[in-house]
Amino acid sequence: MSDMSKNIAVYLYDICNRNVGLGEFEWQIGNELAHRADALRKQYGLVFTFIVPHKFIGCFGNDVKYMPFFPLTRLWVRHSLRRFDLCHLTHQRTKLKYMKRASMHLTTVHDINFIYEKIGLSLKKHHHKFARNISYADALSYISHFVKNDVETHFAPKCDGDVIYNGVTDLTGLHGDIRHLGIKEDGYLFHISSLMPKKNVHRIVEMMRYLPNERLVVVGNLESHYVKTIKDNIAKWGLSNVTMINHVSLEDKAELFRRCKALVFPSLCEGFGLPPVEAMHFGKPVFLSRLTSLPEIGGENAFYFDDLTPNAMAEVVDDKLKCFYSDSVANAAAMRERAKMFSWSSCVDGYVKLYLKLLNLN
- Mean pLDDT of all residues belonging to the chain: 95
User: CB 192: neighbour CB atoms within 10 A?
Assistant: 23
pLDDT at residue number 2 = 47
Kindly report, residue by residue over 244-273, the tens digit of the pLDDT: 999 899 999 999 999 999 999 999 989 998
Q: Is the dihedral of CA 305, 306, 308, 311 positive or negative?
A: negative
What is the pLDDT averaged over residues 344-350? 97
Residue 1 has pLDDT above 50, yes or no: no
Residues with Cβ within 8 Å of residue 222, at least 6 apart in sequence: 195, 244, 245, 246
Kindly report, residue by residue over 211-234, the tens digit of the pLDDT: 999 999 999 989 888 999 999 999
What is the pLDDT averaged over residues 156-174? 94
Distances (CA, A) of 197 to 149, 154, 194, 203: 23, 23, 9, 10
- Quick one: what percent of the chain has pLDDT higher than 90? 88
pLDDT at residue number 102 = 96
Residue 237 has pLDDT above 60, yes or no: yes
Please spell the DSSP secondary structure of 37-85, one letter per residue: HHHHHHHH-EEEEEEE-GGGTTTT-SSSEEEE--GGGHHHHHT-S--BS
Residues in the chain: 362
Kindly report, residue by residue over 98-139, the tens digit of the pLDDT: 999 999 999 999 999 999 889 999 999 999 999 999 999 999
Residues with Cβ within 8 Å of residue 225, at least 6 apart in sequence: none
Q: Are strands 105-109 and 286-289 parallel, antiparallel or unpaired?
A: unpaired
What is the pLDDT averaged over residues 178-207? 94
pLDDT bracket for residue 3 (50, 70, 90) = low
CA–CA gap between residue 238 and residue 244 (Å, rounded):
14
Kindly report, residue by residue over 294-343, the tens digit of the pLDDT: 999 999 999 999 999 999 999 999 999 999 999 999 999 999 999 999 99
**pTM beyond 0.85:** yes
- Under DSSP, is residue 223 helix (H, G, I), strand (E, B) or coil? coil
What is the pLDDT averaged over residues 143-169? 94
Q: Are strands 188-192 and 216-219 parallel, antiparallel or unpaired?
A: parallel
DSSP state of 102: B
User: CB 292: neighbour CB atoms within 10 A?
Assistant: 23
